[in-house]
Structure 1
Amino acid sequence: MKTFNVPIIYRSPLITAIKQKRKQQDRMKKDFTPTLLDFGALKILLARHFGFCYGVENAIEIAFKTIEENPGKRIFLLSEMIHNPHVNSDLLEKGVQFIMDTSGKQLVPWEALQPDDIVIIPAFGTTLEIEAQLTSLGISPVQYNTTCPFVERVWNKAEQIGEKNYTVIVHGKPGHEETRATFSHSLHNTPTVVVNDMAEARILGEFMTGQRPASDFAGLFKGQYSPGFNVETDLQRVGVVNQTTMLATETQAIADYIKGIIMQQYQLTEATAGERFADTRDTLCYATNDNQSAVNGMLATNADLAIVVGGYNSSNTSHLVELCEEKMPTYFISSEEKILSEKEILHWDFHHKQELHSLHFLPEQTPATIMLTSGASCPDALVEGVIRKLLTFYGLEHKADELADQLMNN
């Protein structure tokens, strides 16, 4: 896979050495057991896969290269480059301006843009409507496009099944930039509806079976369906695609549920299901799959608690938290700065969108065992920062450098 020129401030010699060692031992990526970092009084179980993915590194490389090669020019991002506050803050410090926030609220009016301005499309991609808006202003929407190729793969899949007269059901968060972009691209080819979770998929299923009147659809799926969507005809042939960072098990469950309804409604078998249910396979990106599989592999072992590092508005990170929360106390933090002391930690409750202040989060007994992972938009340097912060509470600060030297010399 291609390597990218990512700023050194996001790199970690320790994490790089650990990842290289695991890659040598498991080139086919079939071993999802965690890496044990045994520091004596502190044991850290580090997930097999975590951190920057292909799409994130590609976006960061393009953004920083664009800044470097265009001194004096006004540079804008449509919205956050990725869902990591540290990376976005670094871009802002370099003079980049955000045109919108993550919800789509306009921060810089379109009329303020000029044809010689540079506008970078973030990794999530953007809608066809915004592309047209940029073109009308004399700004090319493709010249500085960092859309993740795995997101584009979903668009292509939606287009392919749309051309065969299947309606597209998108499993995604309706307000997320990526889902808004996928929805826009899909609705130009075929009727499209977004379901946020299994609960909404079940409601959609009730429309498919006639258990709910079609007149209820507009209110229940407001803002989540394409113009002219006909509940009575557009749900007879369907296919499911997803926002690339959703929980893999939930996407599969939704696809299986919808397929089951279709098969029952039209008396189809597995052999004939394709007549009305498109085979979309899994449209999650490789990193989402790997990171979630790595967390599941990590959870097969025992630990006192889990720490997940990443941006609080990061979808892929929140799903890692969700997996960990099912098994043990879990703390979702954006960096080591949230670990205030060996007794206090600030952490994000993504269910209620609030930061919590918890006491006595570390176990009193030793050795303490902590599971650690991060989202696909989180720099490895932040993960190393968490490891070093934890080591200070046990008087083991020197152990991080010793381990890095040992790994690099072996």
Structure 2
Amino acid sequence: MKTFNVPVIYRSPLISAIKQQRKQQDKMKKDFTPTALDFGPVKILLARHFGFCYGVENAIEIAFRTVDENEGKRIFLLSEMIHNPQVNSDLLSRGVRFIMDTGGKQLIPWESLNPDDIVIIPAFGTTLEIESRLSALGITPLQYNTTCPFVERVWNKADQIGKKDYTVIIHGKPKHEETRATFSHSQSVTPTVVVKDIHEAEKLAAYIRGEQPADSFYEAFKGQYSEGFDVTKDLQRVGVVNQTTMLASETQSIADYIRGVMQQHYQLEDAQVQERFADTRDTLCYATNDNQTAVTGMLEAQADLAIVVGGYNSSNTSHLVELCEEKLPTYYIASEEKLLSRDEISHWDFHHSQELHSTGYLPAKTPVTIMLTSGASCPDAVVEGVIRKLLSFWDLEDEVEKMSINFTA
């Protein structure tokens, strides 16, 4: 796989050495057991896969190269390039400005832009409507495009099945930048509807079967269907694609469920299912799948708690937290700064969108075993920072260098 020129401040000698050794030992990526880092009184179980994915590294390389090569020009990002506070802060410090926030709220008026300005498309991609707006301003919309190739693959699949008269069902968060972009591209080709979870998929199934009055669909899925959507005919042939950062297992469950609904409702044999349901399994992102599978593998071990590191508005990170929460106490932090002391921690409750302050998160007994992973937009340097901060509570920070040498040898 291609390697990218990512600023060294995001790299970690320890993490790089660990990842390289695991890659050599497991070239086929079949071993999802965690890497055990034993520091005596504290043991860290590091997930097999975590951190920057292909799409994030691609976006970072393009964005920083764009800044370096266009000194003196005004440079804008449509919104946060990725959902990581450090990377976005670094870009802001270099003069890049955000046109919108992650929710789509305008921060800089479109009319203030001019043809000489540079506008970078974030890793989530953007809508066709915004591309047209940029073109109208004299700005080439895709000249500085960091859209993740795996997001574009979803768009291509939606386009492919849409042209075969399938309606597209998107499993995603309706307000997320990536889902908004995928929805825009899909609806330009075919009727499209968004479901955020299996419960909404079940609600949609009631309209497929005709169990709910058609008129009620438009209120039940308000803001989640394409213009002109006709519930009486647009749910007769469907396919499921996804926001790439959703739980892969949930996307697959939704696709399997809708497939079963179509097969049962239309009384189809297995060989006939594709008459009503398109096969879209290849739209699941490899990194999302690997990171989530690595957490599942990590959770087979015993530990006292889990720490998940990443931006608080990161969808893929929140799903790693969900998986960990099923098994043991889990703390979602943005960086090592949230580890206030051996007794106190500030952490994010994404279920209620609030930061919590907890005490007694680390057991008094030793050894303490901590599971550790991070989201796909979190730099490895931040993960190393978390390890160092944890070790500092036992005066063991110097052990990081020794551990790096062990994995490099």
Shorter-normalised TM-score: what interval? over 0.9
1:373 is matched with 373
1:266 is matched with 266
**Per-residue displacement from partner, 1:2-30 (whole Å, max 9, x unpaired)?**
10010011010110011011011001111
**Per-residue displacement from partner, 1:280-314 (whole Å, max 9, x unpaired)?**
11412111010000000000111000000000000
- For the pair 1:160 / 2:160, whether they are aligned, the reply is yes
Structure-2 separation of matches of 1:49 and 1:77: 29
Structure-1 separation of matches of 2:25 and 2:394: 30
Quick check: 273-282 or 368-377, which moved more?
273-282
Structure-1 separation of matches of 2:383 and 2:102: 25
| 3-state SS, counterpart of residue 390 of structure 2 | helix
1:296-335 superposed matches below 5 A: 296-335=296-335
| 3-state SS, counterpart of residue 270 of structure 2 | coil
| 3-state SS, counterpart of residue 240 of structure 1 | strand
1:325-404 superposed matches below 5 A: 325-404=325-404
1:271: Cα distance to partner?
1.1
How many percent of aligned residue pairs carry the same amino acid?
75
Structure-1 separation of matches of 2:395 and 2:87: 31
Structure-2 separation of matches of 1:248 and 1:145: 26
**Per-residue displacement from partner, 1:14-65 (whole Å, max 9, x unpaired)?**
1001101101100111100000001111100000000000000000000000
Structure-1 separation of matches of 2:282 and 2:135: 33
2:222 is matched with 222
1:249 is matched with 249
2:114 is matched with 114
1:125 is matched with 125
| 3-state SS, counterpart of residue 76 of structure 1 | strand
| 3-state SS, counterpart of residue 55 of structure 1 | helix
Structure-2 separation of matches of 1:189 and 1:278: 15
Structure-1 separation of matches of 2:124 and 2:37: 34
1:21 is matched with 21
- Root-mean-square deviation over aligned CA pairs: 0.6
1:406: Cα distance to partner?
2.1
Given that residues 44 and 372 in structure 1 are in contact (C-alpha distance below 8 angstroms), is that contact kept between their aligned partners in structure 2? yes
1:84: Cα distance to partner?
0.3
1:37 is matched with 37
Counterpart residue type for residue 3 of structure 2: T
Structure-2 separation of matches of 1:60 and 1:111: 27
1:140 is matched with 140
Structure-2 separation of matches of 1:107 and 1:399: 45
Structure-2 separation of matches of 1:70 and 1:307: 39
1:212: Cα distance to partner?
1.0
Structure-2 separation of matches of 1:269 and 1:37: 52
1:396: Cα distance to partner?
1.3
Tell me the TM-score normalised to structure 1 length: 0.99
1:150: Cα distance to partner?
0.2
1:184 is matched with 184
Quick check: 151-160 or 273-282, which moved more?
273-282
Structure-1 separation of matches of 2:257 and 2:285: 22
- Return structure 1 stretches of 4+ with deviation > 3 angstroms: none
| 3-state SS, counterpart of residue 373 of structure 2 | strand
| 3-state SS, counterpart of residue 169 of structure 1 | strand
Tell me the TM-score normalised to structure 2 length: 0.99
2:96 is matched with 96
2:169 is matched with 169
| 3-state SS, counterpart of residue 271 of structure 1 | helix
Structure-1 separation of matches of 2:378 and 2:385: 12
Given that residues 246 and 284 in structure 1 are in contact (C-alpha distance below 8 angstroms), is that contact kept between their aligned partners in structure 2? no
Counterpart residue type for residue 96 of structure 2: V
Structure-1 separation of matches of 2:400 and 2:139: 48
